[in-house]
Amino acid sequence: MKVGVITFPGTLDDRDALRAASVAGTTAISLWHDEADLKGVDAVILPGGFSYGDYLRCGAISRFAPVMTKVIDAANGGMPLLGICNGFQVLCEAHLLPGALTRNKDLHFLCRDQKLVIENNSTAWTSDYTKGQEILIPLKNGEGSFQCDDHTLAQLESEGRIVARYVGENPNGSRNLIAGITNERGNIVGLMPHPEHAIETLTGPSSDGLGFFTSVLKAMVK
Amino acid sequence: MAIIVVEVMLKPEILDPQGVAVGAALPRLGFTFAKSVRQGKRFEIEVEGTPTAAQMADIEKAAATLLANPVIETYVVKVQA
Amino acid sequence: MAIIVVEVMLKPEILDPQGVAVGAALPRLGFTFAKSVRQGKRFEIEVEGTPTAAQMADIEKAAATLLANPVIETYVVKVQA
Amino acid sequence: MALDTVALATNNPDTPQPFAELGLKSDEYARIKEILGRRPTSSELAMYSVMWSEHCSYKSSKVHLKQFGDKAVKSDALLVGIGENAGVVDVGQGYAVTFKVESHNHPSFIEPYQGAATGVGGIVRDILTMGARPIAVMDPLRFGPADAPDTRRVLPGVIAGVGGYGNCLGLPNIGGEVVFDETYLGNPLVNALCVGVMKHSDIKLAKAAGAGNLVVLYGAKTGGDGIGGVSVLASETFEATGPAKRPAVQVGDPFVEKVLIECSLEIFAEDLVVGIQDLGGAGLSCATSELASGGSGGMKVELDRVPLRDATLSPEEILMSESQERMCAIVEPSKIDRFLEICKKWDVTVTVIGEVTDGDRLEITWHGEIIVDVPPRTVAHEGPVYSRPLAEPAYIARVNAEVINPVIPQTAQEIKDAILMMAATPNLADKSWVTNQYDRYVQGNTVQSQPDDSGMVRIDEKTHLGVAVATDANANWSYLNPYEGAKLALAEASRNIATAGAIPLAVTNCLNFGSPEDPGVMWQFAETVRGLADGCLEMGLPVTGGNVSFYNQTGGVAILPTPVIGVLGVIDDVRTRTPMSFDRAGLELYLIGASDENLSGSEWAYLHGMRGGQAPTADLQREMRLIKLLVKGRTENIFTAAHDLSQGGLTASLTEMVLRYNVGARITLANPGITLLVETPGRVVVAVEASKSAMLKEAAGDIPLTYLGTTGGDSLIINDVEISLTELRTAHTSTFQKLFG
Ligand SMILES: Nc1ncnc2c1ncn2[C@@H]1O[C@H](COP(=O)(O)OP(=O)(O)O)[C@@H](O)[C@H]1O
Ligand SMILES: [Mg+2]
């Protein structure tokens, strides 16, 4: 089972995502933004970072990268696709997921250990969690406030497409404490916090993040 | 040579924390004129010669796809006087 | 009620990484109209009634101290039509 | 203005030149004429003026800094010493680590965000230049009073700038300092440290060897921002009210730097460069002259090939521009194609601007005309050297004679108030408001970061080899006694490494002072360097590099002498580190090291408006015994936790420990008031399992050991004083939020 991790210019957490995917037991493969080639991977991760400096809007430029045409096609065909942080922003800009991520409400970049509750464990990336399970993983971004119109929000809520919510005080102003969402099919997940930084207690606040990567392994083997 | 200006603002219903922060900072500095503040972006695009209708259409398209995100933002395209 | 607009741009000699990034992205998307792009900020300030001369002077002062850093930026204050 | 060529300069020897405006003294100008045998061209004048500035030439500090080399013990670990962009030490298993701290003080006062951001950018390029992958940054900072209006402008901007740039580069921030004092109001200190790692064989040096090799400029295009910025700014007394002469500050582009890092590492991995130099202060003037003089001296550069952001720049301006995110490499002709290919992959602008020659002159042309023809060593390494007059300032005798006796809390209520006040005072309060703006997780190797005593990163995922870094400065002690102050800062930084169980290995420093033209300041500086050199000699630690920042003064008032000392340590297995606090009840707490009753230079004295007395005398032999004990405590698994005592003494350390994992403690002290507040150096609090207290006693030998109490509960109890963790946490964590929101 091969998981591809895309590197855009300015991507930062690509090596961490590769590490997490291999620790989970998959074969992790690095993909380059400028090559429209998925190298036969079974799932793709868009990692965190500041692609193209995120100067215009986060993810706005990367979504046009050559590799993204392939990613969009494959994801529309059901391939598991996870966007973490900047990757989530790319997914929204590419309209693979609804809404947008905007400046944190207090305007600061915020890095902290964040408690989340898993609300949907039937996606390709969350099946190893139980519904209602609380996990602790790092949150780190400047533009993590999830915004969308009321209609979209109602739809996300009623269709159970909220994958994870922040527990406790709202860290960034996201509507309905949304930390992550999925598409109707459940193969595409966007998540603001960083599970790849919580795969061992030595370097992360917990190993709670590993479940995202083991989930996809199971989803593929099935 | 002409300068095309694209102004991008967050839609009124979208929270604008930057505008709110500026609005809160003003009275702390003794400025009391503002009822509210919104903060947006301004692009100055330099084009060769007088822009053609086709170019303007292109700029409009670039504004809608790249410079602004219509999910949360509105934009205006102007030719600078 | 009036809207006062303050436009803030980086001085021409100052590097504008945001403008450069946009300028580089446009041709990749097939848009070839731009010779160069600069990106700045735009503030919309809502004031009660028609702004007085004293208010305009105040806004000018706020622009120079808070909204822009004159070391690297220039600004323009306008009343929106 | 007509192009000033070497031919013109020879034929018009008497053309008046603006050397004074460029910061050169008339005897310095005369020396340039003597070196060249004619007047310099305007381009040469530009080069000499920036390279001979205080910032680039170290003309006032060189005679003192020599001691770091002269006094140093021979260290096998030292692979590259002072003189290169950064020193390199061997940390075992074939790995080498490079680290250095630098200042970006003056620009950060003018434009806090960009000043701080480009400060991070500059030090990261220095580390990259050595051939290393940058793996972490730290940011020792000093500001004016926390509640001063200008601090509200400077601090948030600086923090956002450090974070904005470092986060975007993907470098975890693993530590730093935030200290407030009146003397920094017009002169905030923004120091930035970067650590990088490489294999021994990957070390790169700044030398242009091999005639026919190409000089390649890559990275951002050259613009007109920051012309003479760093060098001129950092070399002049800076008047807060000063008018127009302020050159524009530079604006950084961290995205370009991130790409530059990845591109350079790919280039290094394929061994495509002979020598390399980053462009920092003095830009191309520095890079070309240093590369040439690092080799055999000969180099030809066609300056008109330099890609420009602003086509109107003159050659003089191009030579002086301090535009960020640029590198200069020496590449063999056979390897240039591959070099260009990698740059193309990363979309990095790259241009061959010249070649190495077999001569001994640096020759620069502008559209075919020779505008610079100089012996490069005279620009880069043989600048003026001053033995500036120095004299012990009058204040020393006066303040040293003062008796420091602030009121000591006696009753339970007074002691409680003192603990809460110390927990909340800006210098000791929780710094999460700051550090939460920094990414500490990126790269996935951060084992320790704030609020731990030191930052620690894993450098090998299989063997778990790691390094720890701490920076410290105690300006209050340096003010009272700069010689002891430097040693004490060295001891403190070393201790901060050792509490985790890492072994101190090498030292870097950033010496922040007032004007070197003031004999009193120069004395502080000389004493500091002497103290640090003596301290390093005694502790057997090499100084691998550093930076000097002078002219940190507003009008006649200099900042407190602030030598920021960075110590790097190595730990063979990061999994075995000793954490700074305990996460369970039932452990025994001990204070290691003896306490005295001297409150001079302490936070408590400062809070009572007292700034005098005698600094402690550093006892480095005792410190080294303590370090041994701390390392042993880890390797023999004696300690559950260990935390250093420094500013704020025992009360600060206990506050930090109980809040870290929200486990309280019950402490009994014979003399609580003074014991909580005194800042005697050389002390550490440790937590051990009750079953290990005998081991601890034996390991401590003749190092004094005081039983403090036990861990547990949800409050901090000291004799009859009880403070709930909630109340303590509120005091500790709300200060920054209240001040800076
Ligand atoms: N306080 C100091 N202690 C030790 N070395 C120093 C100190 N200040 C400067 N140096 C060394 O002098 C050399 C030149 O410094 P600098 O010009 O700042 O280097 P760069 O231009 O690469 O930043 C470097 O090797 C630096 O480490
Ligand atoms: Mg350097």
CATH of the domain at A87: 3.40.50.880
D615-672 per-position pLDDT tens digit: 999 999 999 999 999 999 999 999 999 999 999 999 999 999 999 999 999 999 999 9
Amino acid at D373: D
DSSP SS3 for D612:
coil
CB distance D251–C20 less than 8 Å? Answer: no
Residues near B70 by beta carbon (within 8 Å), at least 6 away in sequence: B64
CB distance A102–B66 less than 8 Å? Answer: no
Residue D285 near residue D292 (C-beta atoms within 8 A): no
A133: left (phi over 0), alpha (psi -120 to 50) or beta: beta
Catalytic residue at D106?
no
D423-446 per-position pLDDT tens digit: 999 999 999 999 999 999 999 999
**Could you tell me the sign of the dihedral formed by the alpha carbons of D689, D692, D697, D703, in that order?**
negative
CA atoms of D621 and D626, how far apart (whole Å): 9
pLDDT surpasses 70 at B55: yes
DSSP SS3 for D623:
helix
Residue A42 near residue A79 (C-beta atoms within 8 A): yes
Q: Looking at chain B, which subunits does it touch, using at least 3 CB pairs closer than 8 Å as the criterion?
A: A, C
The pairing of strands D665-667 and D715-718 is: parallel
Give A98's pLDDT tier (boundaries 50, 70, 90).
very high
How many other β-carbons are positioned within 10 Å of the β-carbon of residue D148? Answer: 16
CB distance C17–A52 less than 8 Å? Answer: no
Any idea what the Cα angle at residue C52 is, between residues C46 and C56, rounded to 5°? 65
Q: Looking at chain A, which subunits does it touch, using at least 3 CB pairs closer than 8 Å as the criterion?
A: B, C, D
Residues of D in contact with A49 (CB under 8 A): 170
CA atoms of D636 and D686, how far apart (whole Å): 14
Amino acid at B56: M
More confident call, D107 vs D340: D340
CA atoms of C13 and C45, how far apart (whole Å): 28
Task: Say whether residue A50 is in contact with chain D using an 8 A CB cutoff.
Answer: yes
How much is the pLDDT for D228? 56
In which element (H, E) is residue D363 found? strand D362-366
D113-144 per-position pLDDT tens digit: 999 999 999 999 999 999 999 999 999 999 99
Residues of B in contact with A173 (CB under 8 A): 15, 17
Residues near D607 by beta carbon (within 8 Å), at least 6 away in sequence: D406, D421, D422, D425
Ligand 1 atom with the shortest distance to the CA of D529: 1
pLDDT surpasses 80 at D507: yes
Closest CA to A80 of A117, A38, A131, A137: A38
CA distance C14 to chain D (A): 6
How much is the pLDDT for D241? 32
The total number of structural domains in chain B stands at: 1
Report the range out of A58-72, C49-63, D562-576 with the highest average pLDDT. D562-576
| Nearest-ligand number for the alpha carbon of D326 | 2
Mean pLDDT across the stretch C30-35? 92
Closest CA to D426 of D103, D172, D184: D184
CATH number at residue B52: 3.30.1280.10
DSSP SS3 for A1:
coil
Closest CA to D555 of D503, D514, D495: D514
Residue A147 near residue A175 (C-beta atoms within 8 A): yes
How much is the pLDDT for D244? 31
CA distance A42 to chain D (A): 24
The pairing of strands D350-356 and D275-278 is: unpaired
Task: Say whether residue B13 is in contact with chain C using an 8 A CB cutoff.
Answer: no
How much is the pLDDT for C12? 84
Containing domain of residue C21, as a range? 2-80
Task: Say whether residue A110 is in contact with chain D using an 8 A CB cutoff.
Answer: yes
Q: Which two three-digit tokens encode residue B41?
A: 């972006």
HSE (CB half, 13 Å, CA atoms) of B45?
29
> CB-CB: which of D168, D444, D574 is closest to A19?
D444
**What ipTM, to 2 d.p.?**
0.90
Mean pLDDT across the stretch D333-362? 96
Atom 24 of ligand 1, residue of closest alpha carbon? D83
Q: Residue D318 to residues A34, D187, D294, D705: CA-CA distances in angstroms?
A: 33, 29, 22, 62
The total number of structural domains in chain A stands at: 1
Which of D120, D171, D325, D442 has the most A C-beta neighbours within 10 Å, making it the best mutation to test the interface with A?
D442
pTM above 0.90, yes or no: yes
DSSP SS3 for C80:
coil
pLDDT surpasses 60 at D229: no
Q: Which two three-digit tokens encode residue D244?
A: 């127009």
CA atoms of B60 and B67, how far apart (whole Å): 10
Closest CA to D487 of D363, D578, D619, D397: D619
Q: Which two three-digit tokens encode residue D254?
A: 């961290």
Residues of B in contact with A148 (CB under 8 A): 71
D136-192 per-position pLDDT tens digit: 999 999 999 999 999 999 999 999 999 999 999 999 999 999 999 999 999 999 999
D456-486 per-position pLDDT tens digit: 999 999 999 999 999 999 999 999 999 999 9
Closest CA to D192 of D113, D122, D256: D122
Q: Residue A109 to residues A103, D126, D206, D475: CA-CA distances in angstroms?
A: 9, 26, 36, 30
Pocket of ligand 1 (CB under 6 A): D 56, 65, 68, 82-85, 100, 102, 126, 280-281, 509, 511, 543, 545-548
- The mean-pLDDT minimum among D21-25, D170-174, D584-588 falls in D21-25
Atom 5 of ligand 1, residue of closest alpha carbon? D545
Residue A140 near residue D441 (C-beta atoms within 8 A): yes
CB distance D441–A53 less than 8 Å? Answer: no
CA atoms of D685 and D680, how far apart (whole Å): 13
Mean pLDDT across the stretch A121-132? 97
How much is the pLDDT for D1? 58
**Contacting C residues, span 14-43, partner chain B, CB-CB under 8 Å:** 19, 22, 25-26, 29, 31, 33-43
Give A210's pLDDT tier (boundaries 50, 70, 90).
very high
Containing domain of residue A183, as a range? 2-221
Q: What letter would DSSP give residue D641?
A: E
Q: Looking at chain D, which subunits does it touch, using at least 3 CB pairs closer than 8 Å as the criterion?
A: A, C
DSSP SS3 for D688:
strand
For D485-548, give the DSSP string. Answer: HHHHHHHHHHHHHHTTT-EEEEEEEEEE-S-TTSHHHHHHHHHHHHHHHHHHHHHT--EEEEEE
> CB-CB: which of D444, D458, D574 is closest to A197?
D444
pLDDT surpasses 60 at D358: yes
Closest CA to D324 of D250, D234, D246: D250
Residues near A209 by beta carbon (within 8 Å), at least 6 away in sequence: A20, A135, A137, A194, A195, A196, A197, A198, A199
Instruction: Given the residues D104, D106, D643, D732, select the one marked as catalytic.
Output: D104
Task: Say whether residue A109 is in contact with chain D using an 8 A CB cutoff.
Answer: yes
Residue A168 near residue A116 (C-beta atoms within 8 A): no
How much is the pLDDT for D230? 44
Mean pLDDT across the stretch D251-260? 93
Residues near D466 by beta carbon (within 8 Å), at least 6 away in sequence: D445, D447, D456, D457, D458, D459, D460, D502, D570, D571, D573, D574, D577
Q: Which two three-digit tokens encode residue D237?
A: 């007394």
How much is the pLDDT for D33? 96
Atom 18 of ligand 1, residue of closest alpha carbon? D547
How much is the pLDDT for A222? 65
